[in-house]
Amino acid sequence: MCNNKIYVHNKSPHRILGKNTPKEAFTGVKQNIGNLRIFGFLVYIHVPTEKRTKIEPSGMKDIFFAYNKTSKVYMIFILA
């Protein structure tokens, strides 16, 4: 699991870098922050048809709690 504080800190603008992110200051390319989410927000995970019966819901309510350091996926806390 990635250290979330460092992950978000590295994607945030810094005053000492002239309101740029570290990557933007180093490469000159604007960093994409579209994947950042609020910790603890509610997510819905789709349950495939093969793994549920006709009367079971098609989604599960869960909570986002971390980023994965090796890929662009989120780590989810499953409530059920």
Q: How far is CA 80 from the centre of its chain?
A: 21
Are residues 43 and 23 located together in one domain of the fold?
no
Range of the domain at 4: 1-35
Q: Are 45 and 76 part of one and the same domain?
A: yes
Co-location of 29 and 48 in the same domain: no
Cβ(8)–Cβ(22) below 8 Å: no
Burial of residue 67 (CB within 10 Å: 0-12, 13-18, 19+) is buried
The alpha-helical segments, DSSP class H, found in 1-80 are: 4-10, 22-27
In this structure, are 42 and 30 located in the same domain?
no
Same domain, 2 and 30: yes
> How far, in Å, CA of 17 to CA of 38, rounded?
24
Task: Please tell me the pTM assigned to this model.
Answer: 0.58
pLDDT (tens digit, 9 = 90+) per residue, 5-61? 777 777 788 888 888 888 888 888 887 777 777 778 888 889 899 999 989 888 888
Check whether residue 23 and residue 61 sit in a common domain: no
